[in-house]
């Protein structure tokens, strides 16, 4: 998977700019607040239809403009692909190879990327939300069935939660089983695919972590909750848990069991990384997870994703920087930093200097 060209029109602080990327390491450099992350964000947005920084697409439109357009030309193992997003105040239109797509899900899998920035430390430090978000975005990129099941699950969950806030208890009790049947079915797909993903992730993350720390520490990743092996069994177990929690759910006004509550366990040397790992350990663990994600994409999609490393180099010590660079040889990388020469150690790279939303060299 190689992105050849990225065109930004009224996107963030860019008015009109076209980036030509090389197959190897592309370094976007420049001072703070010039547009490096914005460019990286545009790539991720075209891959997933989502941004890591915002909730509302309209924030992506350049101030003063009324629409933005992001377009990428890439080459995947299936051939050339063009992705385009037109973003308006009121919504967006997505196109794959010039054809408008009806559902955002259809954007997924055309261009894959793994995004790593200092913000990814939240993956280790914050609550379960961040870890579920990581899984959801990552699995969705290689599995549309996951993405579809997750969307349906979320929709039904919202309706179930609305129902739980009603006053009429007997009406609630009568209606809940109807929602639960569907909820459990989609949940089963989500749970099974998460489990599969985490079981792939676990050894790969441990290996990447051992590589980064020279085997000094052991990272282990696992899933806290076990609903069973295959989807029928998972659905049955969840259905049982759902009906057992009616009283509590009604009292609290929301659904207290299900994959929207589950968490991934991340341990360093057997201890919970959250609340125990140092800054450096957290950074290394997060990086190991991302490198493992790259490997999973290679296995599942049959080719490497584009690796986006936003502002990561300055946060790593020298041996880890060198190890990271050695590891990413052979895959396309978009790397942002403030000083290109300080992080690359004489490597052959495509350097792009950015100032005020413009490429200056």
* Residues near ligand ATP, by CB under 6 A: 12-13, 30, 32-38, 59, 61-63, 311, 338
Handedness of CA 201, 204, 207, 211 (dihedral sign): negative
Distance in Å, CB of 229 to ligand ATP, minimum? 44
- Toward Mg ion, which CB reaches closer, 36 or 195? 36
Helix axes of 318-327 and 169-213: crossing angle, nearest 10 degrees: 100
The least CB distance from residue 313 to ligand ATP, in Å, is 12
Q: Could you tell me if 327 and 22 are in contact, meaning their C-beta atoms sit under 8 angstroms apart?
A: no
Q: How far apart are CA 59 and CA 221, in angstroms?
A: 35
The nearer residue to ligand ATP, 35 or 49, going by C-beta atoms, is 35
Write down the least CB distance from residue 277 to ligand ATP, Å: 24
| Residue 62 touches which member of Mg ion, ligand ATP, none, C-beta under 5-8 Å by kind | ligand ATP
Q: Binding residues for Mg ion, per CB under 5 A? A: 36-37
Shortest Cβ 41–ligand ATP spacing (Å): 7
The residue (of 67 and 267) whose beta carbon lies closer to ligand ATP is 67
From the list Mg ion, ligand ATP, none, partner contacted by residue 33 (C-beta under 5 to 8 A by kind): ligand ATP
Shorter beta-carbon distance to ligand ATP: residue 55 or 77: 55
Q: What is the spatial distance between Cα 231 and Cα 70, in angstroms, rounded to a whole number? A: 39
Sheet architecture: strand order including 358-359 = 113-116, 306-310, 333-337, 25-29, 350-355, 358-359
**Closer by beta carbon to ligand ATP, 15 or else 303:** 15
Q: Which of Mg ion, ligand ATP, none interacts with 9 (beta carbon under 5 to 8 A by kind)?
A: none
Residue 91 is given by DSSP the state E
31 vs 251, which CB is nearer to ligand ATP? 31
SS3 29: strand
Q: How far is the CB of 338 from Mg ion (least distance, A)?
A: 9
Element (H, E) at 2: strand 2-11
Q: How far is the CB of 199 from ligand ATP (least distance, A)?
A: 35
Query: Residue 212 to residues 15, 138, 327: CA-CA distances in angstroms?
Result: 40, 22, 10
How far, in Å, are 108, 289, 325 from residue 201 at the CA level? 20, 8, 21
């Amino acid at each position: 998977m190689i992105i050849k060209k990225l065109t930004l029109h009224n996107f963030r602080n860019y008015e009109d700019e076209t980036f030509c990327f090389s197959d190897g390491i592309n370094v976007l450099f420049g001072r703070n607040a010039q547009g490096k992350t914005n460019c990286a964000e545009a790539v991720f947005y075209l891959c997933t239809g989502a941004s890591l920084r915002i909730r509302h697409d309209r924030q992506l439109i350049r101030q003063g403009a009324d629409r933005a357009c992001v377009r990428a030309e890439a080459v995947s193992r299936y051939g050339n692909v063009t992705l385009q997003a037109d973003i308006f105040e009121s919504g967006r239109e997505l196109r794959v190879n010039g054809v408008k797509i009806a559902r955002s899900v259809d954007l997924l899998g055309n261009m894959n990327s793994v995004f790593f920035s200092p913000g990814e430390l939240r993956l280790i430090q914050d609550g379960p939300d961040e870890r579920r978000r990581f899984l959801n975005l990552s699995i969705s990129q290689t599995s549309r069935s996951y993405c579809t099941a997750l969307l349906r699950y979320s929709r039904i969950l919202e309706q179930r939660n609305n129902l739980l806030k009603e006053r009429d208890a007997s009406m609630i009790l009568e209606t809940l089983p109807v929602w639960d049947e569907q909820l459990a079915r989609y949940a089963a797909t989500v749970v099974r695919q998460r489990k599969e993903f985490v079981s792939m992730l676990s050894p790969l993350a441990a290996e990447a972590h051992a590589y980064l720390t020279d085997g000094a520490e052991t990272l282990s990743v696992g899933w806290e909750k076990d609903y069973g092996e295959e989807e029928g069994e998972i659905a049955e177990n969840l259905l049982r848990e759902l009906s057992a929690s009616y009283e509590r759910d009604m009292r609290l006004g929301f659904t207290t069991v299900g994959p929207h509550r589950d968490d991934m366990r991340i341990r360093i040397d057997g201890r919970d990384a959250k609340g125990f790992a140092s800054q450096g350990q957290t950074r290394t663990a997060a990086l190991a997870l991302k490198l493992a994600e790259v490997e999973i994409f290679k296995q599942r999609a049959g080719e490497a994703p584009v690796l986006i490393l936003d502002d990561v180099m300055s946060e790593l010590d020298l041996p880890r920087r060198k190890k990271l660079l050695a590891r990413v040889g052979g895959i396309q990388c978009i790397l942002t930093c403030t000083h290109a020469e300080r992080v690359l150690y004489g490597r052959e790279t495509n350097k792009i200097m950015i100032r005020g939303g413009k490429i200056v060299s």
